[in-house]
């Protein structure tokens, strides 16, 4: 009996039954856990450091004593966090629609997800701008640097996710994502949900835990 | 169908739970987030209880998104093992880092987190004094 060259979804068979693309995305997300773990830990270590420190060579480095926690407006950040959570809901609706071959509905939910993600990014830009106006720049002190690096990296991930959503919508509108390739939408969704998961950690550890 | 083809059961054909499960998950996430934010107004005396509650709620939210929205509950076990291995490895590595820096040593969960960075404990050195003026000897020659 001949071995099937491809399965119903157009993929060559794999031993695990998981497509290489999906497995690759999960491996990537597992490694991202380590990267964000490092950034969160760095913030955790530096968040109480004073503005002025002494270098290992004994040189005094003067910096601002404004810490990120002095400027947090948790009411505003709660709203943006809720928006990102809502975007995970719309993303999962998009994946479900793709599996049901409802491509127009899928594009609608993907577009909604992109809009919610853009609102989150807008909120982050507003927050950063406010912090800078209050006198906490990227190099004001090590706590500020760690904060901007962590949340900035997360914002960059959200921005890349929005681009992925828009590209997926454009490809689907041109008919380049047929039902057989609906897994592509699921893989984009995995990335988006991961971004949400990371924010769940950042919001609690950075903004809420004193 | 070949044996290989037969074993290639795609797990993306997850059991269709309908939108109801996703809505319920979202409502649970929203309620947990609201309770998390409410800790801002919890009495400060609760200390480590507030921190522990926040960590528990954060973990529940993490698992809900991973299991339901990312479909780990219905997907191949290998995917969950990969993801949770990464997450647990990250926690283990960085807790080890924290331990090596004695971050929990000073006052525990209820107090200030500090670590044994010598630059935090060493007083600033006195400002450099001006060097003594150089007095040039005059030779008196013409």
The pLDDT confidence band at residue B12, using thresholds 50, 70 and 90, is very low
| CB-based contact, B128 to chain A, within 8 Å | no
For residues A44 and A7, give the distance between their C-alpha atoms in angstroms, rounded to a whole number.
Answer: 47
State the nearest Cα–Cα gap between B134 and chain A, in angstroms: 25
| Residue B140: Cβ within 10 Å count | 5
Give the tokens for residue A54: 């002494």
pLDDT digits (tens, 9 = 90+) for A55-83: 666 777 777 778 888 888 878 999 999 99
For residues B114 and A49, give the distance between their C-alpha atoms in angstroms, rounded to a whole number.
Answer: 8
| Residue B53: Cβ within 10 Å count | 15
In chain A, which residue's Cα lies nearest the Cα of B31? Answer: A82
Query: B80 pLDDT exceeds 80?
Result: yes
Tell me, what's the pLDDT at B123?
A: 52
Task: Give the residues across from A125 on adjacent strands.
Answer: none
State the nearest Cα–Cα gap between A14 and chain B, in angstroms: 6
- Average pLDDT across each block of 10 residues of chain A; the chain has 210 residues. List them in order: 53 76 90 89 82 70 79 87 95 93 93 97 95 89 91 96 96 84 90 95 90
Contact B83 A29 (CB under 8 A): yes
CB B41 within 8 A of CB A78: no
pLDDT digits (tens, 9 = 90+) for B24-62: 999 999 999 999 999 988 887 777 889 899 999 999 999
- The pTM for the full model equals 0.80
Contacts of B106 in chain A (CB under 8 A): none
At residue A60, the 3 state secondary structure works out as strand
For residues A168 and A176, give the distance between their C-alpha atoms in angstroms, rounded to a whole number.
Answer: 9
Contacts of B117 in chain A (CB under 8 A): 49
Nearest to B78 by CA among A209, A96, A26, A192: A26
For residues A123 and A165, give the distance between their C-alpha atoms in angstroms, rounded to a whole number.
Answer: 19
pLDDT digits (tens, 9 = 90+) for B99-120: 777 666 654 444 454 554 544 5
Nearest to B54 among A3, A11, A208 (CB): A208
| CB-based contact, B40 to chain A, within 8 Å | yes
What is the separation of C-alpha A117 from the centre of its chain, rounded to a whole number of angstroms?
9
| CB-based contact, B56 to chain A, within 8 Å | no
Contacts of B124 in chain A (CB under 8 A): 52, 54, 60
DSSP line for A69-118: HHH--HHHHHHHHHHHHHHHHHHHHHHHHHHTT-HHHHHHHHHHHHHHHH
Tell me, what's the pLDDT at A5?
A: 55
Nearest to A144 by CA among A73, A55, A206: A206
For residues A65 and A200, give the distance between their C-alpha atoms in angstroms, rounded to a whole number.
Answer: 28
């Amino acid at each position: 009996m001949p071995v099937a060259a491809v399965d119903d979804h157009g993929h060559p068979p794999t031993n695990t039954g998981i497509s290489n693309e999906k497995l690759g995305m999960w491996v990537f997300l597992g490694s991202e856990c380590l990267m964000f773990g490092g950034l969160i830990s760095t913030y955790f270590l530096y968040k109480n450091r004073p503005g002025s420190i002494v270098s290992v060579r004994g040189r005094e480095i003067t910096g601002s004593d404004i810490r990120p926690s002095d400027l947090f407006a948790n009411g505003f950040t709660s709203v943006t966090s809720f928006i990102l959570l809502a975007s995970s809901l719309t993303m999962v609706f998009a994946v479900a629609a793709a599996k049901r071959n409802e491509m127009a509905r899928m594009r609608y939910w993907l577009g909604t997800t992109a809009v919610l993600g853009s609102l989150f990014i807008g909120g982050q830009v507003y927050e950063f701008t406010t912090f800078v106006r209050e006198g906490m720049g990227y190099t004001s002190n090590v706590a500020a640097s760690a904060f901007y690096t962590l949340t900035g990296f997360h914002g960059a991930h959200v921005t890349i996710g929005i681009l992925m959503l828009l590209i997926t919508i454009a490809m689907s509108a041109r008919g380049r994502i047929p039902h057989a390739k609906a897994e592509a939408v699921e893989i984009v969704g995995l990335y988006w949900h991961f971004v949400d998961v990371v924010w769940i950690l950042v919001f609690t550890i950075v903004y809420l835990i004193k | 169908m070949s044996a290989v083809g037969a074993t290639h059961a795609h797990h993306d054909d997850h059991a269709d739970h309908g939108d109801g499960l996703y809505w319920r998950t979202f409502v649970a996430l929203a309620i947990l987030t609201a309770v998390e934010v409410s800790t801002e107004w919890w009495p400060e005396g609760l200390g480590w209880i507030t921190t522990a509650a926040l960590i528990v709620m954060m973990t529940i939210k993490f698992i809900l998104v991973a299991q339901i929205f990312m479909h780990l509950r219905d997907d191949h076990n290998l995917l969950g093992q990969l993801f949770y291995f990464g997450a647990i490895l990250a926690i283990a590595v960085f807790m080890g880092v924290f331990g090596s820096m004695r971050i929990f040593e000073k006052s525990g969960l209820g107090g200030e987190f500090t670590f044994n960075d010598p630059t935090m404990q060493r007083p600033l050195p006195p400002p450099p004094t001006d060097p003594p003026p150089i007095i040039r000897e005059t030779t008196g020659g013409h």
